[in-house]
Chain A
Amino acid sequence: MSVLSSSEIRKRLEKTINDPQSLVITPLLDEEFDYDAVDIRLGCYFRLPAISSIKCIEPYRESHLEGGVAHYPELVHKPYGRSEETIPKKELSEMGFSEKDGTLVLQPQHAVLASTLEYIKLPADVSGEILTKSSWARYFISIASAPWIHPLYRGCLTLEITNLGNIPVALPVGEPIAQLVFIKIEGETENQDVIKGSYAGAILPEAPTFRG
C-alpha cells in the first residue's frame, strides 16, 4: 500500500468517469493540495442528537426503524454562504434582506453528524482515510470515528464531529475541516464499477441503517 501524491491525485482527478482509475472530488474550491492529501470542507447538512422521546435504539432488530428512529438524529441545514460574507452586507440590504448568522455552534462534549461539501468517488484501486485537520484538533475537535473509505465509494462523506474541549466552537460551512488521504491498494481489485452499501450516493448525513 502506498499513499497517492498530489500529482497522482491530480492525474486521477482529470480522468473521465468511465476510466476505472478516475477519482472525483466536487466541488473542488482550492486546487492547491498538500503533497499527500486534499483538504475537505464542511458541508451544509448536519444531524443533531436533539432531545428525543425515543426510548431506546435497538440496532439489528426488525423494529429498529420504527417510532421515529429513522429520522434520528434530527436533520439541520445551514446553507453555504450565510456564515461568510459572500454576499456583502451592503448588497444584502440593497436586496432588502437582513443578514442572519447561519453558523452552527458545537457545545463542549457534544457531537454532531455533518456532511462534507465535496462529493467524492474513489477508484477501484484506492482507499481513503479522512483525518481531522491539525488546527481543528488543537481545539479538541475530532471529526471522524469511522475514517476509512472503501474503494469505489461515492457520496458526500459523513463526519462525526465531536467537541472534546470545554469551549463552544463554531462550525463554519464551506471551510476546510478535514484532510483526505488516498492509499493505493496492491494486488487484484474490482475490475468494474459497482455501487455498494446503504450510504452510497448520499448527499446528506444519513441516519444509520443496521442491516444484518
Chain B
Amino acid sequence: MTELVGQVRSEAFCLLRLCDDLTTFIRSGRTKKTYLYETEGLLDHILQSLKAIERFVRNAVEEPPKDELIKSKLRDFGEIKKGLSLLYILAKQAIDSDSLSIPFSLATFLNHTVRQLLKSKRASLVVLSGSSLMYYKYNIKAMRDLTRYLSARIEGYPVLGEEIGILMFPYCAAREVLVNCNLFHEMGHYIYEAVRLEEAFRNKLVDKLARFFTDPEIMRKVEAPLLAWRALLNYVLTLMSRWADEIFADIFAVRVLGPAFHFAYREIEHIIPTTTGRNFSETHPADDYRFKIHARWLQEDGWDESLKNNAADLLHQLRKCQEIKNFTIGSKPPSYFEPIEQQLNDWMLKEFDLMVTEIESKVSDTLGSDFQKPIEDFRRNHELVISYLGHGVVPSTCYDISGNKSHPSPTTVLNSAFLFYLGGMDDLLGKVRSKLSWIQKRIAYEKRLNDWLGKAIEDWQILLKKGKL
C-alpha cells in the first residue's frame, strides 16, 4: 500500500506541474492578443478545467486517500491525464489563433449565421488554425464525454458545452477570405451534429441492413461467423454515416453561401489534388458525386442564370457531373464478404441516393421557411460589387447609377468576388500603375482583394450592429 501512496504522490506532482505550465502558457500568450469571443470562451474553459484539476490533485496529496480508495484515485488520475493531453493540444491551437491569425470577420459572420439558423445565442464556432492543409471540424465528442466524466468526479470541473464547435483551417490561410469559404462546409458538420441527424440515419440503416443481410441469396453466398457480420454492419454504418455527414455539410454550404463554396472547394482541390473522381472513399463521397449534388442545389436555388453569364465553363462542367450515374466504392468490406462485394457496393450506393433525398429535406427543415436565399441579394447587388472591386474599392456601400444605396450582404460579396477573382482581375490590374511585373501585381492584388472582402464583411456587421441595414 505504501508503494501505491508513493505512486499517487509522484503522479500528482507530474499533473500539478503540467497544470501550472499550461496555465502559465495560456496567461502569457493571452496578454497582448485579442481573440474571437468564442475562442476566449474556450480558453476560459481550459483555465477552469486546469484550476479544478489542480485543486483535486492537491487535495489528494495533502489528504492521502484511504487505502481502499487509492486505486480509484489512480484511475481518476489516468482519466485526468487523458483530459490534460487533449487540453494540451487545444491550448496551443487556441493561443495561436488570435484575431490576426484567423480570417476574423469571416469567423464572426459564421457565428452570426449559425446563431440565426439555430435560433440560439449560445451556438459558438471557435475557428482555429491547424497544421494540416485541410479544413475540418475538430471532433470534440471524446473530449466532451471526458469532461462529463471528470465533472462528475472533480468539483468545479466544467463540462464542454454541446453548443461549442471547433472548426479548423490551414494556418497559412489566415488572411485569405475566398478559400476560407470552405469553412461554410465545416459549419454544416456542426449543424449536422447540433440537429442530431446521425443517430436517426443510423437507426434507419440498421433496419435496412438487417433486411439486406437476411436476404436468402446473400446468406447462400456468404459463410461468415456472427462476429464478421457485426464487423460488416459496423463497416457499412461507418462509411455511410460519414458520407451522409459530408453531403449534409455540402448541401448546407451551397444553400447558405452559394457557388462560392463550390469555387472554394475547387480551389483547395488544386492545392491538394484528390483522386476520388468517381470513387467513394472511406470518409467522403466521390468528388463527382458531390459536384452532382452541388449542381442540383445551385440550380434549385436559382444560380444557373448567373453562372451561365459569369462562369459558363463551370456550369458546363457541373451539368456534365449531373449526368454521371456510375460510381464506385474504393474501400473493401471484411474479407468474408468478397463474394458479395459488388452486390454490397451497389446496395450501399443505391441506399445512399435515398439517404441524400432525406438529407436534402433535412437541410431545408434546418434552414426553415424564413430562410432568405443568398441569390436574392446577389441578383440585386452582383453587378455593383463587381464594379466596385474593379475600381479597387471595398464593396460595403454601393451606389447604382440612379443614386440608390445598398449594402451587399457578405454572401453576395463572397460569390461576386469569387467570380471577379476568376474572371475580372485583369480589369483591376489594368488600372494599376506600377513598376511591378504582371505576376507580382497579380499576387499583390489577390492579397488586396482578400483584404477588401474581409473589410466588406466586417463593415456589413458593423452596419448591422448600428441598425443601418
Binding site for B on A (CB under 8 A): 13-18, 22, 24-29, 44, 75-82, 86, 91-92, 94-98, 100, 102, 117, 119, 121, 154, 156, 174, 193-196, 200-204, 211
Contact = CB atoms under 8 A, between A and B. Distances in A.
A16 B399 contact: yes
A29 B396 contact: no
Contacts of A193: 391, 431
A94 B121 contact: yes
B99 A77 contact: yes
B387 A94 contact: no
Contacts of A25: 397
> What is the interface of chain B mostly: helix, strand, loop, or mixed?
mixed
A147 B454 CA distance: 26
Contacts of B34: 77-79, 82, 100, 102
Contact of A92 (B37, B391, B392, B466): B37
A85 B463 CA distance: 15
Given A81-B462, A203-B455, 11 more contacts: A15-B399, A17-B387, A17-B388, A27-B468, A75-B100, A95-B37, A156-B455, A195-B428, A196-B433, A202-B448, A211-B435
A47 to B, nearest CB: 12
A24 B397 contact: yes
Interface of B: 32, 34, 37-38, 40-41, 44, 98-100, 104, 108, 121-122, 124, 161, 163, 384, 387-388, 391-394, 396-401, 403, 405, 428, 431-435, 445, 448, 451-452, 454-455, 458-459, 462-463, 465-466, 468
A91 B399 contact: no
A100 B400 CA distance: 40
Contact of B459 (A26, A154, A195): A26
A195 B431 contact: yes
A22 B403 CA distance: 11
Nearest to B38: A97
Contacts of B388: 17
Given A194-B433, A196-B433, A79 B394 contact: no
A26 B428 CA distance: 20
B393 A24 contact: yes
A200 B428 CA distance: 12
Contact of A79 (B38, B44, B104, B121): B104
Contacts of A97: 37-38, 40-41
B118 to A, nearest CB: 13
Contacts of A211: 435
B1 to A, nearest CB: 44
Contacts, number: 128
B387 A16 contact: yes
A95 to B, nearest CB: 5
Given A14-B403, A78-B34, A195-B432, A27 B451 contact: no
B392 A195 contact: yes
Nearest to B444: A201
Given A80-B462, A82-B34, A203-B451, A98 B397 contact: no
Nearest to A155: B392
21 contacts: A16-B384, A16-B399, A16-B400, A26-B393, A27-B459, A27-B463, A28-B397, A75-B100, A78-B34, A92-B37, A95-B121, A95-B122, A98-B44, A102-B34, A117-B462, A154-B393, A174-B462, A194-B433, A195-B392, A202-B451, A204-B451
Contacts of A102: 34
Contacts of B466: 29
A80 B121 contact: no
B396, B400, B435, most chain A CB atoms within 10 A: B396
A26 B465 contact: no
B392 A98 contact: no
Nearest to A80: B462
Contact of B396 (A78, A91, A119, A194): A119
A13 B399 contact: yes
Contact of A96 (B41, B391, B432, B458): B41
B94 to A, nearest CB: 14
Nearest to B441: A195
A42 B462 CA distance: 13
